[in-house]
Chain A
């Protein structure tokens, strides 16, 4: 071991506006300044995306350099002396803004961006308020590129953020630049329209009102809205979405503060798939089937009716079955399992299982820190995706991997039953027939052994013994391996953790008196009561018991509602508070954004049934924060730091680190296979999602 004669410096010292600063080598001046509270203005610079040096707003004075330098391309250098605000710089910026405004329409009064426009802010700061431009402005008409995206070239300042967000961030590359000079404009990939993820990242990242969304445009001024930061209700990735709300109407979704685990990212569902809340088909009143027909009744009548039925069935020793939705909050799931076990005295309780986390935990018992977080996906040196069209089914996880490829040179391996987007930048991509993914892994063994670490993400084709085989195989690689067991919905993970299972109590504790699984309940001809809280199991399988009294909480008159005897109109995730646990075990707070006439949160409905049945003293209060307290102190792994949650962060749960000895019902584990544009009945009732040409899409197409 010999040490080099001169070790490279680990810290660079420099001066900005008379302040002594330091930063690691390679840090861009603009970033180094930002971290020290010195804001250098820029339109084109965007942290995490490639450098452009196009807007010329970040010009600064650097001693010993004759010309003004762009802070966005200049790495900090030892002893460098920088001035970020001088008369010369202010003049340059003002001059550039004056240029920029020459062809800008200045239609701020009718522009969606007004009030949160970076160009407005910049002009306010540097005061290019007067224009000496007296010529005709170039004009080009606005275009609609998709049901979501509108482009107004006149407003466009050509910062190329949208192009990079689409190409680098999303891996789609649906936006480019055409023409040249002053006629340059952004162009979509299909001549006059877009064929893309419709994720709206381009719109969100646009500093001006050049890209606008059909959902939000001309609806409101930004300051008229309340901004409610909550968690997306669709897939399991758990993106933070900030809902812009006015008068109990959600007007837009975005990720305003970029503070969530998803940072820049939201997919079409997270950003625009909230409109099901305003669907005309929402159930707004409880209903009871009278003479074969569902009729609207009061809440008290419906609750009383259900409570009486439950009590009499219980008195007769009848058979209950309870099915929980995978979009309920942890509090609802926890309270429901308590109701089922302590109130109804049964473990006939289940949810639609979409991934075999249970076997994974069992196989990993004794290993700590073996479950990957969303952050791990960004930081890992290598990732292996098995049996999932990640960019369609788990778009945030795919986004994290792509960011890793760009920033950390992450190497991606995929083994999938068809082409996937990850193949574009993967080190190795293997396509095999469905179900044969595991067998193909041997081909990658040698290559993976050469990696320093690995995160394995696997879908529903790896379950039961295959999970054990996978863990055993990964152990032979001789490198640290972490796992993500992919599950479908916003709280599929919570349903497992909260013990909405026939054989596991909350925290993966074995239930000594296991009950019927979902398939078991549907097949049981002697089932007396089926209580379906939010899910729609009858869409895919019939209910065998002809006599079963079916109670369903639902938003829409779906297949399950068609068989129900009593319906309760339930609130969506955007109408209630509580917590959700995402696919990587991170808990986040859901915050009610709106109230919708007639609907109640499932927790309240469950609580009111308990009250009517006289179970309230047994089950305890049903306000979400009190239930969460119980989860926090009682459910293994949920003893998370509360400040993280309270400030809108994602708190990592710690899963069991011991054997989970239950018989996993492998055959019932099946992903619903939602694409980027579908989301069960929520998707079918979203006008926006059903209007995009990509709806419903298909997996493994690209």
Chain B
């Protein structure tokens, strides 16, 4: 299912992909598996956090928060139990990397979790896997059983005195649960509605206890950082952007796939070399660079080194690493509508601007797509999205607003063209008036 390794790739966390029985503990142990853990057991929590800070590893879920810093926020003198929670609720459109990481190398994730547990002094952890990924839960459960059997989980791990239990937990279909506080609510058996923050999970997370919560890819990277050393890992990327990340390329390219490349890898090279260029020799229209929440880039903007800072400079974001490439024939109005349909479907409904805004925008965009849009609708879409931006309870509202604003600002002519098309369809002056 994964693409063949490409020479442009730097395979650190995907290096075991493709090995026979890559998900088994035997394969894992034969390929540096649990080496980092044994190292971590010898290290103090401060040393582990220092290495992570040195590595410039930033959260791979979407927000890009420095991992070492996040772990350092755990108040270790807090008498409450502490928890490690893995966000494997991968559901940002365009993203399919965590799936590969669990399917091909579940022990890498387990090792990352144990190291986190070692760092914060935690005895229980949960891997929250989206409900649709049932087969991955089965793979993960099998790997967990192997880890228990080999003494990497449970009581007194490898004679270290460390106790740690790790379990899978299935979601049940809700994009919102990818937001960390909503995920915790869901893990507690409630509706996946985000929490008021602060307090952040590091202080009050699962069961109101200090919790380290990271994306699958982030946890998977931790063993590599400890194995190679924080500095060495940092050196792979660009300044402040340590290491590699898994980019999920989809859409109109000849070789879509999930590629592990260093941060700062040029987007142009990714599209035209690594992925073999645009399908059927077509021209590029634009790229949605970091999952559906990230504002679209036009073809002429798709030439920059892909690290967190440069995405920001391009007024978009690295997000979850889901790069959706669109060729010249792509119907942007349709894409904008499909994006808004997604957010309207996934809005938890908690706050007014997101609940009502996504639904309203979906209705207008549907009209526009069906050919009954009005000229004033274009500005209305833009303004309504702006009215949501920065005013919602959680980032989902922004995630819906930002790409919409992007589509309108960058491809306004496509929305206008849609009006012209419908105008031509009108057969009587009355219709003309009612349409525009």
Residue numbers of A with Cβ under 8 A of B are: 51-56, 59, 67-68, 73, 92, 95-96, 98-100, 102-103, 132-133, 135-136, 138, 157-158, 177, 179-184
CA distance A95 to B352 in the complex (A): 10
B18 → chain A closest CB, angstroms = 40
Report if B133 contacts A (CB, 8 A). no
Q: Specify which of A55, A92, A180 is in contact with B349 (CB 8 Å cutoff).
A: A180
Known contacts A181-B348, A182-B344; A98/B196 CB under 8 A:
no
Q: Specify which of A51, A55, A133, A136 is in contact with B352 (CB 8 Å cutoff).
A: A55
Residues of A within 8 A of B358 (CB): 181-182
Q: Is B360 in contact with A102, judged by CB distance below 8 angstroms?
A: yes
Would you mind naming 17 contact pairs between A and B with Cβ atoms under 8 Å apart?
Answer: A52-B350, A92-B387, A96-B387, A99-B352, A99-B356, A99-B357, A99-B360, A102-B360, A132-B376, A132-B380, A136-B363, A180-B174, A181-B344, A181-B346, A181-B358, A181-B359, A182-B355
Residues of B within 8 A of A98 (CB): 387
Interface centre among B346, B352, B393 (most CB of A within 10 A): B352
Report if B13 contacts A (CB, 8 A). no
Known contacts A54-B351, A103-B356, A135-B363; A95/B346 CB under 8 A:
no
A162 → chain B closest CB, angstroms = 15
CB within 8 Å of A: which B125-153 residues: none
Interface SS of chain A: loop
CA distance A51 to B344 in the complex (A): 24
Q: Is A181 in contact with B196, judged by CB distance below 8 angstroms?
A: no
A555 → chain B closest CB, angstroms = 49
CA distance A157 to B355 in the complex (A): 10
Top 8 closest pairs, chain A to chain B, by CB: A184-B349, A95-B387, A99-B356, A182-B359, A135-B363, A181-B347, A181-B349, A67-B390
Q: Is A56 in contact with B391, judged by CB distance below 8 angstroms?
A: yes
Known contacts A73-B196, A95-B387, A102-B360; A181/B355 CB under 8 A:
yes
Q: Specify which of A54, A59, A182 is in contact with B347 (CB 8 Å cutoff).
A: A182
Residues of B within 8 A of A182 (CB): 344, 347, 349, 355-356, 358-359
Residues of B within 8 A of A103 (CB): 356, 359
Known contacts A59-B391, A99-B356; A54/B350 CB under 8 A:
yes
Q: Is A181 in contact with B360, judged by CB distance below 8 angstroms?
A: no
Q: Is A180 in contact with B351, judged by CB distance below 8 angstroms?
A: no
Q: Is A95 in contact with B196, judged by CB distance below 8 angstroms?
A: no
Chain B residue with the shortest CB-CB distance to A91: B387
Residues of B within 8 A of A67 (CB): 390
Q: Is A184 in contact with B391, judged by CB distance below 8 angstroms?
A: no
Report if B227 contacts A (CB, 8 A). no
Beyond A68-B390, A181-B344, 9 additional pairs, beta carbon < 8 A:
A56-B351, A56-B353, A56-B391, A96-B391, A102-B356, A102-B360, A182-B355, A182-B358, A183-B349
Q: Is A180 in contact with B387, judged by CB distance below 8 angstroms?
A: no
A89 → chain B closest CB, angstroms = 10
CA distance A226 to B390 in the complex (A): 45
Report if B212 contacts A (CB, 8 A). no
Q: Is A68 in contact with B380, judged by CB distance below 8 angstroms?
A: no
Report if B22 contacts A (CB, 8 A). no
Residues of A within 8 A of B364 (CB): 135
A577 → chain B closest CB, angstroms = 46
Interface centre among A132, A177, A179, A180 (most CB of B within 10 A): A180
Residues of B within 8 A of A59 (CB): 391
Residues of A within 8 A of B357 (CB): 99
Residues of A within 8 A of B344 (CB): 181-182
B304 → chain A closest CB, angstroms = 25
B263 → chain A closest CB, angstroms = 25
Report if B410 contacts A (CB, 8 A). no
Known contacts A54-B350, A103-B356, A157-B352; A181/B345 CB under 8 A:
yes
CA distance A627 to B393 in the complex (A): 59
Residues of A within 8 A of B355 (CB): 99, 158, 181-182, 184
Residues of B within 8 A of A52 (CB): 196, 350
Q: Is B191 in contact with A53, judged by CB distance below 8 angstroms?
A: no
Q: Is A102 in contact with B359, judged by CB distance below 8 angstroms?
A: yes
CA distance A138 to B191 in the complex (A): 22
A135 → chain B closest CB, angstroms = 4
Report if B339 contacts A (CB, 8 A). no
Q: Is A179 in contact with B349, judged by CB distance below 8 angstroms?
A: yes
Q: Is B391 in contact with A92, judged by CB distance below 8 angstroms?
A: yes
Q: Is B359 in contact with A55, judged by CB distance below 8 angstroms?
A: no
Residues of A within 8 A of B392 (CB): 56
B371 → chain A closest CB, angstroms = 15
Chain A residue with the shortest CB-CB distance to B355: A182
Q: Is B360 in contact with A100, judged by CB distance below 8 angstroms?
A: no
Known contacts A92-B391, A99-B360; A180/B191 CB under 8 A:
yes
CA distance A180 to B175 in the complex (A): 12
Q: Specify which of B346, B352, B367 is in contact with A56 (CB 8 Å cutoff).
A: B352
A176 → chain B closest CB, angstroms = 9
Residues of B within 8 A of A180 (CB): 174, 191, 347-349
Q: Is A53 in contact with B393, judged by CB distance below 8 angstroms?
A: yes
Q: Is B391 in contact with A95, judged by CB distance below 8 angstroms?
A: yes
Q: Specify which of B174, B376, B393 is in contact with A54 (CB 8 Å cutoff).
A: B393
CB within 8 Å of A: which B323-368 residues: 344-353, 355-360, 363-364, 367
Interface centre among A55, A56, A59, A99 (most CB of B within 10 A): A99
Residues of A within 8 A of B359 (CB): 102-103, 138, 181-182
CA distance A678 to B391 in the complex (A): 48
Chain B residue with the shortest CB-CB distance to A180: B349
A137 → chain B closest CB, angstroms = 10
CA distance A179 to B346 in the complex (A): 11
Residues of A within 8 A of B376 (CB): 132
A105 → chain B closest CB, angstroms = 14
CA distance A102 to B363 in the complex (A): 11
Residues of B within 8 A of A158 (CB): 349-350, 352, 355
A212 → chain B closest CB, angstroms = 22
CA distance A184 to B346 in the complex (A): 12
A72 → chain B closest CB, angstroms = 9
B 210-236 to A, binary, CB cutoff 8 A, 1 in contact else 0: 000000000000000000000000000
Interface centre among B355, B358, B360, B363 (most CB of A within 10 A): B355
A418 → chain B closest CB, angstroms = 29
Chain B residue with the shortest CB-CB distance to A66: B390
Residues of A within 8 A of B347 (CB): 180-182
CA distance A181 to B196 in the complex (A): 18
CA distance A56 to B356 in the complex (A): 12
Q: Is A99 in contact with B390, judged by CB distance below 8 angstroms?
A: no
Residues of A within 8 A of B356 (CB): 99-100, 102-103, 182
Chain B residue with the shortest CB-CB distance to A100: B352
A50 → chain B closest CB, angstroms = 9
Chain A residue with the shortest CB-CB distance to B363: A135
CA distance A567 to B360 in the complex (A): 67
CA distance A24 to B391 in the complex (A): 28
A175 → chain B closest CB, angstroms = 14
A584 → chain B closest CB, angstroms = 35
Q: Is B390 in contact with A53, judged by CB distance below 8 angstroms?
A: no
B363 → chain A closest CB, angstroms = 4
Q: Is A96 in contact with B352, judged by CB distance below 8 angstroms?
A: yes
CA distance A180 to B349 in the complex (A): 5
Residues of B within 8 A of A95 (CB): 353, 387, 391
CA distance A492 to B78 in the complex (A): 52
CA distance A157 to B393 in the complex (A): 15
Chain A residue with the shortest CB-CB distance to B349: A184
Chain B residue with the shortest CB-CB distance to A93: B391
A266 → chain B closest CB, angstroms = 29
CA distance A179 to B350 in the complex (A): 11
B 381-413 to A, binary, CB cutoff 8 A, 1 in contact else 0: 000100100111100000000000000000000
B10 → chain A closest CB, angstroms = 35
Q: Is A135 in contact with B367, judged by CB distance below 8 angstroms?
A: yes
Residues of A within 8 A of B191 (CB): 177, 180
Known contacts A56-B393, A182-B344, A182-B359; A96/B353 CB under 8 A:
yes
Chain A residue with the shortest CB-CB distance to B191: A177
CA distance A59 to B397 in the complex (A): 15
